[in-house]
């Protein structure tokens, strides 16, 4: 869900996940702010792919 310009959120059963987008020189970079709870990675990745072009995550 879009919260504000370049701020997105996703609600899980227990925790909220937040993203800040529009970063970097090309404005295509984003950062994950809150990662939810243990074992929520599949939900986070699925939501990231919906919100952002390729949903890529660089660690």
Per the CB < 8 A criterion, the answer to whether 53 and 28 are in contact is yes
Q: Is the pLDDT score of 59 beyond 60? A: no
What average pLDDT does range 20-30 have in this prediction? 89
pTM above 0.85, yes or no: no
User: Cα separation of 19 and 51, whole Å?
Assistant: 9
Q: Is the pLDDT score of 53 beyond 80? A: no
What's the pLDDT score for residue 20? 93
Q: Is the pLDDT score of 6 beyond 70? A: yes
Q: Is the pLDDT score of 27 beyond 60? A: yes
Per the CB < 8 A criterion, the answer to whether 24 and 32 are in contact is no
Strands 16-23 and 7-11: antiparallel
* DSSP helix/strand/coil, 37: coil
């Amino acid at each position: 869900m879009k919260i504000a310009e370049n701020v997105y959120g996703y609600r899980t059963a227990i925790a909220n996940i937040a993203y800040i987008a529009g970063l970097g020189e090309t404005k295509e970079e984003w950062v994950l702010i809150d990662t939810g709870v243990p074992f929520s990675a599949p939900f986070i990745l699925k939501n990231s792919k919906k919100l952002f072009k390729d949903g890529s995550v660089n660690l």
